[in-house]
């Protein structure tokens, strides 16, 4: 196993020594549900845009090969995560 690094080797040894404990069925269900909920888009909003901004968004979305709603959602998501900055920042 020369292709694994030291940390990976320690993890394998720990597993083989039966040092790992199952997290249980309930926790696994909770984690699966949380992951599922994080990808749900369950809130609908209405916004008003200028005709020019709307057309520009549609063009950008077509260039990216995605629906314009998905592009707008992505922009909002990136802004909320701090990955997209305003001009004043």
Q: What value does the mean pLDDT take over residues 67-88? A: 86
d(CA 69, CA 31): 28
Tokens linked to 69: 């709603």
pLDDT in tens, 11-35: 999 989 988 888 788 888 888 888 8
- Which contiguous run of DSSP H or E holds residue 67? none
Contacts of 9 (CB under 8 A, 6+ apart): 1
Q: How far is CA 70 from the centre of its chain?
A: 13
Tokens 């005709």, located at residue: 51
Q: Which of residues 47 and 1 earns the better pLDDT score? A: 47
Q: What is the largest CA-CA distance in the chain?
A: 64
pLDDT tens track for 3-12 = 788 899 899 9
pLDDT score of 41? 73
């Amino acid at each position: 196993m020369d292709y694994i690094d030291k940390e990976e080797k320690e993890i394998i040894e720990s597993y083989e020594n039966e040092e790992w404990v199952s997290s249980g069925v309930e926790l696994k269900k909770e984690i699966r549900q949380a992951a599922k909920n994080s990808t749900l888009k369950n809130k609908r909003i209405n916004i008003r845009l200028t005709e020019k901004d709307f057309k520009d968004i549609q063009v950008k979305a077509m260039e990216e090969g995605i629906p314009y709603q998905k592009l707008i959602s992505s922009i909002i998501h990136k802004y909320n995560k701090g990955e997209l900055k305003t001009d004043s920042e």
